Structure 1
């Protein structure tokens, strides 16, 4: 594993981008994370993380055409890059390997 490991938030955002196909944007990603992962994140947290992933070459963004519904503002759409897909698959493989052999987790009681 020669590259930096993805953090949990990075993985969740990248999975949300992958699930959205070519139309992933902040509010849609935010809804997906809340509905599917039970994670409530601010739009700013989502965009800061996506920009970091873009700088790493793991996602790519483009501006959609402005729409009257958004007051003429264009959405910023995100897609995974080939490097992003590879990093996400590698993270999944590492987690699967780590879970192999774990049949039960110890029970802990609060004092």
Structure 2
């Protein structure tokens, strides 16, 4: 493995949600998908802190969409996972797979 840092669990969830949402990946949609998929209610502040951090690491790119009347004239900020972000996800998946391989959890009483 290289010196690249591994992604945290929540960072992985956010990147995967953005990949799933594709062209429709903006804050409230990411938050909604996380709630539906993993049952985790995330504050919008915590989500945007993570999005900003991932973008700062070069794992995400953002763009500002058109202003919409439904948002009082404000524009949505859309996110896209970069090639570097996809590589980081693959590394994390491979590392987890390697650790899980051959492991059977025992029942805890």
Instruction: Please give the range of the TM-score, normalised by the shorter of the 2 chains.
Output: over 0.9
CA-CA distance at 1:107 after TM superposition: 2.2
CA RMSD across the alignment? 0.8
Normalising by structure 1, we get a TM-score of 0.94
CA-CA distance at 1:49 after TM superposition: 0.1
Match of 1:94 in 2: 95
Match of 1:38 in 2: 39
Normalising by structure 2, we get a TM-score of 0.96
Once residues 90 and 39 of structure 2 are traced to their aligned partners in structure 1, the CA distance between those partners, rounded to angstroms, is 22
> Which is richer in strand?
2
CA-CA distance at 1:17 after TM superposition: 0.4
Partner secondary structure for residue 75 of structure 1:
strand
CA deviation vs aligned residue, 1:1-35 (integer Å, no higher than 9, x gap): 22000000000000000001122011100110010
Aligned length: 108
Once residues 80 and 24 of structure 2 are traced to their aligned partners in structure 1, the CA distance between those partners, rounded to angstroms, is 8
Once residues 69 and 44 of structure 2 are traced to their aligned partners in structure 1, the CA distance between those partners, rounded to angstroms, is 21
Matched, 1:80 2:81: yes
CA-CA distance at 1:106 after TM superposition: 2.1
CA deviation vs aligned residue, 1:54-102 (integer Å, no higher than 9, x gap): 0000000010000011100000100000100110111111111111011
